Amino acid sequence: MFEQFKNWFESRHDYAKDWKERTGGKVIGYFCTYVPEEILYAADVLPVRCLGGHEPQDVTEPHIFGMFCPFCRDVLAQGLKDKFDYLDGITISQSCLHLRQAYTSWDMHKPVEFSYYLPMPHHVQSLASRPFLRSELVKFKEAVEKWTGKTLTDADLDRGIEIVNTNRRLLKQIFELRKADVPPLTGLEAMYLVLSSQMTDKREHNKALKELLDQLPGRKVEREIGERLMILGSENDDVPFTEMVEDVCGATFVIDDHCTGTRYFWNEVIPKEDRLQAIADRYVDRVPCPTKDWPKRLRVDHIKNLVEEYRVQGVIVVQQKFCDPHELDIPAIQQSLKDIDVPTLFLEFDVTAPLGPFRIRVEAFLEMMRQDDLF
Protein backbone atom coordinates (compact mmCIF):
# COMPACT_ATOMS: atom_id res chain seq x y z
CA MET A 1 0.00 0.00 0.00
CA PHE A 2 2.88 2.33 0.80
CA GLU A 3 5.44 0.75 -1.49
CA GLN A 4 5.02 3.40 -4.18
CA PHE A 5 5.66 6.25 -1.72
CA LYS A 6 8.66 4.48 -0.26
CA ASN A 7 10.08 3.90 -3.74
CA TRP A 8 9.59 7.51 -4.70
CA PHE A 9 11.51 8.59 -1.61
CA GLU A 10 14.30 6.07 -1.96
CA SER A 11 14.68 6.48 -5.72
CA ARG A 12 14.18 10.22 -5.78
CA HIS A 13 17.00 10.87 -8.23
CA ASP A 14 15.87 8.19 -10.67
CA TYR A 15 12.35 9.56 -10.46
CA ALA A 16 13.42 13.12 -11.22
CA LYS A 17 15.63 12.08 -14.12
CA ASP A 18 12.82 9.98 -15.54
CA TRP A 19 10.37 12.87 -15.07
CA LYS A 20 12.64 15.15 -17.06
CA GLU A 21 12.88 12.65 -19.84
CA ARG A 22 9.14 12.03 -19.91
CA THR A 23 8.06 15.65 -19.79
CA GLY A 24 11.00 17.62 -21.13
CA GLY A 25 10.44 19.95 -18.18
CA LYS A 26 12.86 21.64 -15.84
CA VAL A 27 13.63 20.43 -12.31
CA ILE A 28 14.50 22.79 -9.49
CA GLY A 29 16.01 21.84 -6.14
CA TYR A 30 14.66 23.69 -3.14
CA PHE A 31 16.22 23.88 0.30
CA CYS A 32 13.38 25.02 2.53
CA THR A 33 9.64 24.48 2.67
CA TYR A 34 8.96 28.21 2.55
CA VAL A 35 9.61 28.08 -1.21
CA PRO A 36 6.28 28.80 -2.97
CA GLU A 37 5.90 25.62 -4.97
CA GLU A 38 2.60 26.93 -6.35
CA ILE A 39 4.47 29.29 -8.68
CA LEU A 40 6.82 26.54 -9.82
CA TYR A 41 3.95 24.18 -10.61
CA ALA A 42 2.25 27.02 -12.46
CA ALA A 43 5.38 27.18 -14.64
CA ASP A 44 5.44 23.39 -15.13
CA VAL A 45 8.71 23.16 -13.22
CA LEU A 46 9.18 20.20 -10.87
CA PRO A 47 10.32 21.27 -7.40
CA VAL A 48 12.29 18.61 -5.51
CA ARG A 49 13.55 19.12 -1.99
CA CYS A 50 17.28 18.79 -1.46
CA LEU A 51 17.69 16.56 1.56
CA GLY A 52 20.76 14.81 2.91
CA GLY A 53 22.04 11.35 2.15
CA HIS A 54 22.72 10.14 5.71
CA GLU A 55 26.19 8.95 4.82
CA PRO A 56 29.49 10.12 6.30
CA GLN A 57 31.19 12.50 3.88
CA ASP A 58 34.36 14.55 3.65
CA VAL A 59 33.59 17.13 1.00
CA THR A 60 32.00 20.00 2.92
CA GLU A 61 34.77 20.79 5.42
CA PRO A 62 36.38 23.47 3.21
CA HIS A 63 33.00 25.14 2.70
CA ILE A 64 31.07 25.08 5.97
CA PHE A 65 32.50 25.65 9.43
CA GLY A 66 32.05 22.59 11.66
CA MET A 67 29.74 24.29 14.17
CA PHE A 68 26.93 24.38 11.62
CA CYS A 69 24.31 21.65 11.65
CA PRO A 70 24.99 18.24 10.13
CA PHE A 71 21.87 18.54 8.00
CA CYS A 72 23.12 21.58 6.08
CA ARG A 73 26.48 19.90 5.54
CA ASP A 74 24.82 16.69 4.41
CA VAL A 75 22.65 18.62 1.96
CA LEU A 76 25.64 20.46 0.52
CA ALA A 77 27.51 17.16 0.23
CA GLN A 78 24.77 15.87 -2.05
CA GLY A 79 25.35 18.83 -4.34
CA LEU A 80 29.13 18.64 -4.28
CA LYS A 81 29.01 14.91 -4.97
CA ASP A 82 26.74 15.50 -7.99
CA LYS A 83 23.87 13.45 -6.60
CA PHE A 84 21.52 16.13 -7.94
CA ASP A 85 23.32 16.58 -11.26
CA TYR A 86 20.00 16.69 -13.10
CA LEU A 87 18.88 19.98 -11.53
CA ASP A 88 18.26 22.94 -13.82
CA GLY A 89 17.88 25.35 -10.94
CA ILE A 90 18.12 25.78 -7.19
CA THR A 91 16.24 28.05 -4.84
CA ILE A 92 15.87 28.85 -1.18
CA SER A 93 13.34 30.83 0.72
CA GLN A 94 14.94 32.61 3.63
CA SER A 95 14.80 30.59 6.82
CA CYS A 96 17.73 29.48 8.98
CA LEU A 97 21.34 30.57 8.51
CA HIS A 98 22.66 27.04 8.40
CA LEU A 99 20.69 25.81 5.44
CA ARG A 100 21.41 29.10 3.71
CA GLN A 101 25.07 28.15 3.69
CA ALA A 102 24.32 24.90 1.93
CA TYR A 103 22.46 26.89 -0.70
CA THR A 104 25.11 29.58 -1.19
CA SER A 105 28.01 27.12 -1.37
CA TRP A 106 26.04 24.99 -3.83
CA ASP A 107 25.35 28.16 -5.82
CA MET A 108 29.07 28.96 -5.93
CA HIS A 109 30.50 25.54 -6.64
CA LYS A 110 27.81 23.77 -8.63
CA PRO A 111 26.32 26.52 -10.76
CA VAL A 112 23.04 25.82 -12.51
CA GLU A 113 21.10 27.90 -15.02
CA PHE A 114 18.70 29.33 -12.41
CA SER A 115 19.49 30.23 -8.80
CA TYR A 116 17.15 32.30 -6.67
CA TYR A 117 17.27 33.54 -3.09
CA LEU A 118 13.81 34.55 -1.92
CA PRO A 119 13.90 36.87 1.12
CA MET A 120 10.95 35.35 2.92
CA PRO A 121 10.15 37.69 5.83
CA HIS A 122 10.81 36.51 9.37
CA HIS A 123 8.39 38.83 11.14
CA VAL A 124 5.32 36.92 10.02
CA GLN A 125 3.41 38.15 13.07
CA SER A 126 3.57 41.68 11.65
CA LEU A 127 1.01 42.89 9.12
CA ALA A 128 3.91 44.38 7.17
CA SER A 129 5.09 40.92 6.14
CA ARG A 130 2.10 40.31 3.85
CA PRO A 131 2.57 43.07 1.25
CA PHE A 132 6.32 42.58 1.48
CA LEU A 133 6.16 38.88 0.69
CA ARG A 134 3.73 39.61 -2.13
CA SER A 135 6.21 42.05 -3.64
CA GLU A 136 8.93 39.41 -3.40
CA LEU A 137 6.66 36.81 -5.03
CA VAL A 138 6.10 39.20 -7.94
CA LYS A 139 9.86 39.23 -8.48
CA PHE A 140 10.16 35.49 -8.02
CA LYS A 141 7.39 34.91 -10.56
CA GLU A 142 9.07 37.26 -13.05
CA ALA A 143 12.38 35.46 -12.58
CA VAL A 144 10.74 32.07 -13.14
CA GLU A 145 8.99 33.45 -16.24
CA LYS A 146 12.27 34.71 -17.62
CA TRP A 147 13.95 31.39 -16.89
CA THR A 148 11.26 29.18 -18.40
CA GLY A 149 10.22 31.58 -21.16
CA LYS A 150 6.62 31.18 -20.12
CA THR A 151 4.32 33.97 -18.98
CA LEU A 152 2.30 32.86 -15.99
CA THR A 153 -1.37 33.78 -16.19
CA ASP A 154 -3.92 33.77 -13.39
CA ALA A 155 -5.13 30.45 -14.79
CA ASP A 156 -1.62 29.03 -14.46
CA LEU A 157 -1.37 30.24 -10.88
CA ASP A 158 -4.81 28.78 -10.11
CA ARG A 159 -3.63 25.47 -11.49
CA GLY A 160 -0.42 25.63 -9.43
CA ILE A 161 -2.36 26.48 -6.29
CA GLU A 162 -4.84 23.68 -6.90
CA ILE A 163 -2.13 21.07 -7.43
CA VAL A 164 -0.33 21.95 -4.20
CA ASN A 165 -3.52 22.54 -2.22
CA THR A 166 -4.92 19.16 -3.27
CA ASN A 167 -1.78 17.50 -2.03
CA ARG A 168 -2.05 19.31 1.30
CA ARG A 169 -5.73 18.44 1.64
CA LEU A 170 -5.19 14.75 0.90
CA LEU A 171 -2.27 14.46 3.28
CA LYS A 172 -4.29 16.14 5.98
CA GLN A 173 -7.22 13.80 5.39
CA ILE A 174 -4.90 10.81 5.72
CA PHE A 175 -3.28 12.24 8.83
CA GLU A 176 -6.76 12.72 10.28
CA LEU A 177 -7.11 8.93 10.26
CA ARG A 178 -4.20 8.72 12.68
CA LYS A 179 -6.47 10.05 15.42
CA ALA A 180 -8.18 6.64 15.57
CA ASP A 181 -7.60 4.23 18.48
CA VAL A 182 -5.85 2.02 15.97
CA PRO A 183 -4.33 4.30 13.35
CA PRO A 184 -4.39 2.64 9.92
CA LEU A 185 -0.85 3.76 9.18
CA THR A 186 2.39 3.92 11.11
CA GLY A 187 4.58 6.92 11.67
CA LEU A 188 7.07 5.54 9.21
CA GLU A 189 4.41 5.15 6.54
CA ALA A 190 3.21 8.69 7.20
CA MET A 191 6.80 9.84 6.90
CA TYR A 192 7.12 8.25 3.47
CA LEU A 193 3.97 10.04 2.35
CA VAL A 194 5.23 13.50 3.19
CA LEU A 195 8.84 12.99 2.14
CA SER A 196 7.81 11.57 -1.22
CA SER A 197 5.43 14.49 -1.75
CA GLN A 198 8.45 16.82 -1.50
CA MET A 199 10.22 15.16 -4.41
CA THR A 200 7.51 13.85 -6.71
CA ASP A 201 5.24 15.52 -9.24
CA LYS A 202 2.29 16.29 -7.01
CA ARG A 203 -0.17 15.41 -9.75
CA GLU A 204 1.07 11.82 -9.64
CA HIS A 205 1.37 11.98 -5.89
CA ASN A 206 -2.21 13.21 -5.54
CA LYS A 207 -3.47 10.31 -7.63
CA ALA A 208 -1.65 7.83 -5.41
CA LEU A 209 -2.88 9.59 -2.25
CA LYS A 210 -6.49 9.38 -3.46
CA GLU A 211 -6.15 5.65 -4.05
CA LEU A 212 -4.57 5.25 -0.64
CA LEU A 213 -7.33 7.25 1.00
CA ASP A 214 -9.90 4.89 -0.52
CA GLN A 215 -8.11 1.85 0.87
CA LEU A 216 -6.91 3.04 4.26
CA PRO A 217 -10.13 3.05 6.30
CA GLY A 218 -10.56 -0.68 5.69
CA ARG A 219 -6.95 -1.56 6.39
CA LYS A 220 -6.44 -4.24 9.00
CA VAL A 221 -3.57 -3.38 11.32
CA GLU A 222 -1.74 -6.45 12.57
CA ARG A 223 0.72 -4.82 14.97
CA GLU A 224 0.18 -3.56 18.51
CA ILE A 225 -0.09 0.22 18.63
CA GLY A 226 1.72 0.63 21.94
CA GLU A 227 2.28 4.14 23.23
CA ARG A 228 0.93 6.98 21.09
CA LEU A 229 3.90 9.23 20.41
CA MET A 230 4.49 12.56 18.76
CA ILE A 231 7.84 13.50 17.22
CA LEU A 232 8.84 17.11 16.72
CA GLY A 233 11.81 19.34 16.13
CA SER A 234 14.35 19.97 13.37
CA GLU A 235 14.24 18.55 9.88
CA ASN A 236 13.83 14.79 10.15
CA ASP A 237 14.01 12.24 7.40
CA ASP A 238 15.71 9.64 9.55
CA VAL A 239 13.90 6.51 8.46
CA PRO A 240 15.96 4.01 10.55
CA PHE A 241 15.18 5.87 13.78
CA THR A 242 11.45 5.97 13.13
CA GLU A 243 11.49 2.34 12.11
CA MET A 244 13.37 1.38 15.27
CA VAL A 245 10.95 3.19 17.60
CA GLU A 246 7.93 1.55 16.00
CA ASP A 247 9.23 -1.91 15.11
CA VAL A 248 11.66 -2.57 17.94
CA CYS A 249 10.35 -0.45 20.80
CA GLY A 250 6.71 -1.07 19.96
CA ALA A 251 5.29 2.47 20.05
CA THR A 252 3.53 4.35 17.25
CA PHE A 253 4.05 7.87 16.06
CA VAL A 254 0.60 9.32 15.57
CA ILE A 255 1.60 12.88 14.69
CA ASP A 256 4.62 15.14 14.20
CA ASP A 257 5.72 18.73 13.97
CA HIS A 258 8.51 18.79 11.41
CA CYS A 259 9.13 20.64 8.16
CA THR A 260 9.39 17.16 6.69
CA GLY A 261 5.99 16.42 8.21
CA THR A 262 2.91 18.38 9.13
CA ARG A 263 4.46 21.85 8.99
CA TYR A 264 4.93 21.28 5.27
CA PHE A 265 1.30 20.75 4.36
CA TRP A 266 -0.90 21.81 7.29
CA ASN A 267 -2.16 25.07 5.79
CA GLU A 268 -3.67 25.63 2.35
CA VAL A 269 -3.70 28.68 0.12
CA ILE A 270 -7.07 30.35 0.60
CA PRO A 271 -8.08 31.57 -2.89
CA LYS A 272 -8.25 35.31 -3.51
CA GLU A 273 -8.58 37.49 -6.58
CA ASP A 274 -4.97 38.54 -6.05
CA ARG A 275 -3.30 35.13 -6.47
CA LEU A 276 0.14 36.19 -5.31
CA GLN A 277 -1.30 37.77 -2.18
CA ALA A 278 -3.18 34.55 -1.50
CA ILE A 279 0.04 32.56 -1.82
CA ALA A 280 1.92 35.07 0.34
CA ASP A 281 -0.76 34.87 3.03
CA ARG A 282 -0.44 31.10 3.13
CA TYR A 283 3.27 31.22 3.83
CA VAL A 284 2.83 33.96 6.42
CA ASP A 285 0.04 32.04 8.15
CA ARG A 286 1.51 28.53 7.99
CA VAL A 287 2.69 26.73 11.11
CA PRO A 288 5.96 28.59 11.61
CA CYS A 289 9.50 27.37 11.62
CA PRO A 290 11.10 28.50 14.91
CA THR A 291 13.13 31.07 12.93
CA LYS A 292 9.89 32.94 12.34
CA ASP A 293 8.00 32.17 15.52
CA TRP A 294 8.35 35.43 17.43
CA PRO A 295 7.63 37.57 19.37
CA LYS A 296 4.89 35.13 20.46
CA ARG A 297 5.60 31.40 20.39
CA LEU A 298 2.56 30.38 18.36
CA ARG A 299 3.99 26.95 17.65
CA VAL A 300 3.77 25.88 21.28
CA ASP A 301 -0.02 26.15 21.30
CA HIS A 302 -0.18 24.38 17.95
CA ILE A 303 1.87 21.49 19.36
CA LYS A 304 -0.33 21.30 22.44
CA ASN A 305 -3.41 21.16 20.22
CA LEU A 306 -1.92 18.30 18.23
CA VAL A 307 -1.09 16.48 21.46
CA GLU A 308 -4.71 16.77 22.54
CA GLU A 309 -6.32 15.98 19.19
CA TYR A 310 -4.13 12.95 18.53
CA ARG A 311 -4.21 11.78 22.17
CA VAL A 312 -0.46 11.77 22.40
CA GLN A 313 1.01 10.07 25.47
CA GLY A 314 4.64 11.10 25.03
CA VAL A 315 6.73 13.31 22.80
CA ILE A 316 10.16 12.67 21.33
CA VAL A 317 11.88 15.99 20.74
CA VAL A 318 14.64 15.71 18.17
CA GLN A 319 17.12 18.33 17.17
CA GLN A 320 19.80 18.37 14.56
CA LYS A 321 23.06 18.99 16.39
CA PHE A 322 23.84 22.75 16.44
CA CYS A 323 20.34 23.69 15.20
CA ASP A 324 19.99 27.04 16.94
CA PRO A 325 16.35 27.86 16.10
CA HIS A 326 15.14 24.60 17.61
CA GLU A 327 17.55 24.77 20.51
CA LEU A 328 15.98 28.13 21.31
CA ASP A 329 12.46 26.71 21.41
CA ILE A 330 13.02 23.30 22.98
CA PRO A 331 13.18 24.38 26.66
CA ALA A 332 9.90 26.29 26.27
CA ILE A 333 8.23 23.42 24.43
CA GLN A 334 9.36 20.84 26.96
CA GLN A 335 8.17 23.03 29.82
CA SER A 336 4.77 23.60 28.24
CA LEU A 337 4.32 19.86 27.71
CA LYS A 338 5.43 19.16 31.25
CA ASP A 339 2.78 21.62 32.41
CA ILE A 340 0.11 19.42 30.84
CA ASP A 341 1.74 16.21 32.13
CA VAL A 342 3.06 15.00 28.80
CA PRO A 343 6.53 13.45 29.15
CA THR A 344 9.26 14.27 26.65
CA LEU A 345 12.48 12.66 25.55
CA PHE A 346 15.14 14.84 23.97
CA LEU A 347 17.48 13.37 21.36
CA GLU A 348 20.19 15.08 19.35
CA PHE A 349 20.41 13.91 15.74
CA ASP A 350 23.41 13.79 13.48
CA VAL A 351 23.85 12.61 9.88
CA THR A 352 23.39 9.09 11.17
CA ALA A 353 21.54 8.38 14.39
CA PRO A 354 23.24 6.06 16.92
CA LEU A 355 20.46 3.50 16.97
CA GLY A 356 21.87 1.38 19.82
CA PRO A 357 22.06 4.13 22.45
CA PHE A 358 18.86 5.72 21.14
CA ARG A 359 17.03 2.42 21.47
CA ILE A 360 18.02 2.18 25.14
CA ARG A 361 16.85 5.73 25.78
CA VAL A 362 13.56 5.29 23.93
CA GLU A 363 12.85 2.02 25.73
CA ALA A 364 13.62 3.67 29.08
CA PHE A 365 11.28 6.51 28.13
CA LEU A 366 8.48 4.11 27.23
CA GLU A 367 9.06 2.08 30.37
CA MET A 368 8.78 5.24 32.42
CA MET A 369 5.47 6.00 30.74
CA ARG A 370 4.21 2.48 31.44
CA GLN A 371 5.13 2.80 35.11
CA ASP A 372 2.80 5.78 35.26
CA ASP A 373 0.00 3.47 34.15
CA LEU A 374 0.92 0.83 36.75
CA PHE A 375 1.03 3.09 39.73
Identify the bridge partners of residue 233 per DSSP, sorted by sequence position.
318
Q: What are phi and psi of 256, to 5 degrees?
A: -145, 170
Residue 272, Cβ neighbours under 10 Å: how many? Answer: 13
Q: Do 101 and 64 touch, CB atoms closer than 8 A? A: yes
The Cα 219–Cα 1 span in angstroms is 10
Total binding residues for other proteins by CB under 8 A?
47
Q: Which stretch binds other proteins (CB under 8 A): 207-215, 244-252, 286-294, 310-318?
A: 286-294
* Minimum CB distance to other proteins smaller for 143 or for 239: 143
* Minimum CB distance to other proteins smaller for 44 or for 324: 324
User: To the nearest whole angstrom, how small is the minimum distance from the Cβ of residue 115 to other proteins?
Assistant: 10
Decide if residue 327 touches other proteins (CB under 8 A).
yes
User: To the nearest whole angstrom, how small is the minimum distance from the Cβ of residue 14 to other proteins?
Assistant: 31
User: To the nearest whole angstrom, how small is the minimum distance from the Cβ of residue 118 to other proteins?
Assistant: 9
> Up-side HSE of residue 160: CA atoms within 13 Å toward CB?
23
Can you tell me which of 2, 86, 114, 132 binds other proteins, judged by CB under 8 A? 132
The Cα 94–Cα 117 span in angstroms is 7
Q: Which stretch binds other proteins (CB under 8 A): 223-231, 254-262, 292-300, 357-365?
A: 292-300
Decide if residue 121 touches other proteins (CB under 8 A).
yes
Can you tell me which of 145, 204, 243, 324 binds other proteins, judged by CB under 8 A? 324
Decide if residue 295 touches other proteins (CB under 8 A).
yes
Q: What are phi and psi of 316, to 5 degrees?
A: -100, 120
Residue type at 228?
R
Can you tell me which of 1, 97, 155, 182 binds other proteins, judged by CB under 8 A? 97
The Cα 181–Cα 183 span in angstroms is 6
Give the C-alpha distances (Å, rounded to integers) separating 303 from 123, 200, 216, 297.
20, 28, 25, 11
Decide if residue 276 touches other proteins (CB under 8 A).
no
Can you tell me which of 96, 164, 193, 232 binds other proteins, judged by CB under 8 A? 96
Sorted by sequence, the CB contacts under 8 Å of residue 214 that are 6+ apart come out as none
Build a one-symbol-per-residue string for 134-173: x at contacts with other proteins by CB under 8 A, - elsewhere.
Answer: -xx-------------------------------------
Residue length of the chain: 375
Q: Do 158 and 38 touch, CB atoms closer than 8 A? A: no
The Cα 234–Cα 261 span in angstroms is 10
Q: Which stretch binds other proteins (CB under 8 A): 164-172, 204-212, 310-318, 320-328?
A: 320-328
* Minimum CB distance to other proteins smaller for 219 or for 321: 321
The Cα 254–Cα 227 span in angstroms is 9
Decide if residue 291 touches other proteins (CB under 8 A).
yes
Can you tell me which of 173, 277, 334, 352 binds other proteins, judged by CB under 8 A? 334
Sorted by sequence, the CB contacts under 8 Å of residue 271 that are 6+ apart come out as 158, 161, 278
Q: Which of residues 13-72 bind other proteins (CB under 8 A)?
A: 61-68
**Number of H-type helices and E-type strands within the chain:** 15, 8
Q: Which of residues 99-118 bind other proteins (CB under 8 A)?
A: 100-101, 104-105, 107-108, 117
The Cα 140–Cα 129 span in angstroms is 16
Decide if residue 350 touches other proteins (CB under 8 A).
no
- Binding stretches for other proteins (CB under 8 A): 61-68, 94, 96-98, 100-101, 104-105, 107-108, 117, 119, 121-123, 126-129, 131-132, 135-136, 290-291, 294-295, 297, 321-322, 324-325, 327-332, 334
